[in-house]
């Protein structure tokens, strides 16, 4: 397949190395002191899920990497038969793919099916494997903790525990052999609660909740400099606030809102990766004004007015939703946000976002309410 190159900025010399160090200047491009840019290209499309004729793309994926080499994505949901406007049913999948980057083309190494459908859980990549928490359309599996590894060079999925609640649209981080599960839809209800799950003892402990909102779903979170940072999310409205968790004192402190030039940015539905101990990178996010207006109207209009609004809303083109196309970086030492440019494709939400070396992979995701992209993009992070 001929690759479609999407050039983010003018490049005079491009290194195709998967290392984090630029061969020309010996600069670690992931270092917080390095100014960065990303050059993108289209990496292909996932093959059809088992039993389907075509993969039209999914959102709410399981995602991560193994052995700093393989990309793992799976599950997710879409509307394969009818659109949301026409009452289409959402379908969730059990397929898990392992991919390898072959000079910018993402090739399938293995394709398996898990025993349950997977979607809208929390994914964490560690040096030992990928944890996937909750996120199943099967109510009996919506509290599962899965661990994905390579065993004899094959994908191995193992259930290693249960939460005392179900989880959808939450986030999680890993620290010192413990999982920290943060907000989301817990036991079927939007929540502000945070839990520590000890992988050794299988015990769950409730910690101090994320402040200021009783329900916070689809936030972004990373562990930076030994603290948990949580940003945005939403419920009936989209949020732009941010908080830092202090493990020693079990307390949260407010940090900078998500903003550029004093203009708030919603990261509801966005996905993040950790670049280094000081920085996290975020792609996506619903537009706050559009989202807030839609939630209000879909919940309050009736009869013909509701039908007219639905037709206009779900019939709009992706650009009309004005989702966040800025590639954002938060630095916890300076407590500031910046952008390193825009994604040169429809801004996704609920995508798989994976970092391996100086390569970043954006897999599928939603590009407007109810519509997914089937594309996979490969970004090369470079010194600016």
What is the length of the chain?
A: 384
Closest-CA residue to 109 (of 46, 16, 18): 46
Q: Which residues pair with 284 in a beta bridge?
A: none
Pull the structure tokens for residue 331. 């630095």
Q: Is residue 349 part of a domain?
A: yes
Handedness of CA 355, 358, 359, 365 (dihedral sign): positive
* Exposure string for 162-191, b = 16+ CB within 10 A, e = fewer: ebebbbbbbbbbbeeebbbbbbbbbeeebb
Residue 1 lies in a domain: no
Tokens 């990766």 belong to residue: 273
Give residue 14's pLDDT: 33
Can you give the pLDDT at residue 10?
28
Write the DSSP symbol of residue 349: B
Closest CA to 352 of 8, 66, 67, 76: 76
Block means of pLDDT (10 residues each) for the chain, 384 residues, are 38 41 70 98 98 98 99 99 95 99 98 99 99 98 99 98 99 99 99 99 99 99 99 99 99 99 98 99 99 99 98 98 99 99 99 99 99 99 96
**What's the distance, CA 261 to chain centroid?**
25
What local confidence, expressed as pLDDT, does residue 171 receive?
99
How many domains in the chain? Answer: 1
Using CA atoms, how far apart are residues 316 and 314, in angstroms rounded to an integer?
6
Question: Does any domain span residue 65?
Answer: yes
Structural domain boundaries, residue 200? 12-383
For residue 3, tell me if it sits in a domain: no
CA distance 92 to 4: 29
Quote the pLDDT of residue 26. 73
**Cβ neighbour number for residue 257 with a 10 Å cutoff:** 15
Report the distance separating Cα 78 and Cα 89, nearest Å.
Answer: 8
**Residue 251 belongs to a domain with what CATH number?**
2.120.10.80
User: Is 284 within a domain?
Assistant: yes
- Residue 313 falls within a domain, yes or no? yes
Q: What is the DSSP letter of 200?
A: T
Residue 81 lies in a domain: yes
CA dihedral 256, 258, 263, 269 (to 10 degrees): -160
Report the C-alpha gap between 22 and 247 in whole angstroms.
36
Report the alpha-carbon distance of residue 135 to residue 34 in Å, rounded. 36
Distance (Å, whole) CA 365 – CA 383: 27
Structure-token pair, residue 40 = 């993108």
Say if 4 falls within a structural domain. Answer: no
């Amino acid at each position: 397949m001929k690759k479609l190159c999407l050039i983010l900025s003018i490049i005079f010399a491009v290194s195709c190395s998967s290392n984090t160090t630029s061969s020309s200047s010996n600069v670690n491009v992931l270092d917080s002191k390095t100014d960065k840019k990303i050059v993108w290209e289209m990496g292909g499309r996932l093959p059809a899920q088992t039993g389907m004729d075509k993969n039209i793309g999914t959102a709410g994926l399981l995602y991560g990497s193994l052995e700093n080499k393989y990309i793992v994505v799976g599950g997710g949901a879409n509307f394969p038969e009818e659109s949301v406007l026409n009452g289409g049913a959402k379908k969730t999948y059990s397929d898990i793919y392992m991919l390898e980057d072959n000079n910018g083309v993402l090739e399938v190494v293995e394709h398996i099916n898990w025993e349950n459908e997977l979607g809208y859980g929390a994914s964490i990549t560690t040096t030992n494997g990928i944890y996937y928490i909750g996120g199943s359309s099967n109510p009996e599996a919506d509290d599962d903790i899965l661990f994905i590894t390579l065993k004899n060079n094959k994908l191995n999925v193992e259930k290693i525990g249960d939460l005392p609640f179900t989880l959808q649209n939450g986030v999680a981080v890993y620290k010192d052999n413990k999982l920290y599960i943060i907000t989301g839809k817990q036991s079927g209800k939007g929540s502000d609660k945070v839990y520590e799950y000890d992988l050794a003892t299988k015990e769950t402990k409730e910690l101090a909740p994320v402040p200021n909102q009783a329900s916070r779903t689809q936030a972004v979170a990373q562990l930076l400099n030994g603290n948990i940072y949580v940003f945005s999310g939403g419920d009936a409205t989209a949020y732009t606030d941010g908080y830092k968790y202090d493990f020693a004192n079990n307390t949260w402190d407010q940090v900078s809102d998500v903003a550029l030039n004093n203009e708030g940015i919603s990261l509801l539905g966005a996905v993040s990766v950790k670049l280094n101990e000081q920085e996290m990178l975020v792609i996506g996010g619903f537009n706050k004004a559009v989202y807030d207006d839609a939630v209000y109207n879909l919940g309050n209009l009736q009869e013909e007015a509701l039908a007219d609004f639905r037709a206009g809303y779900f019939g709009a083109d992706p650009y009309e939703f004005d989702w966040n196309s800025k590639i954002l970086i938060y630095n916890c030492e300076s407590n500031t946000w910046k952008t390193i440019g825009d994604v040169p494709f429809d801004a996704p939400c609920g995508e798989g976002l994976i970092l391996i070396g100086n390569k970043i992979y954006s897999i599928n995701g939603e590009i407007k309410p109810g519509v997914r992209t089937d594309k996979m993009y490969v970004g090369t992070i470079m010194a600016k």
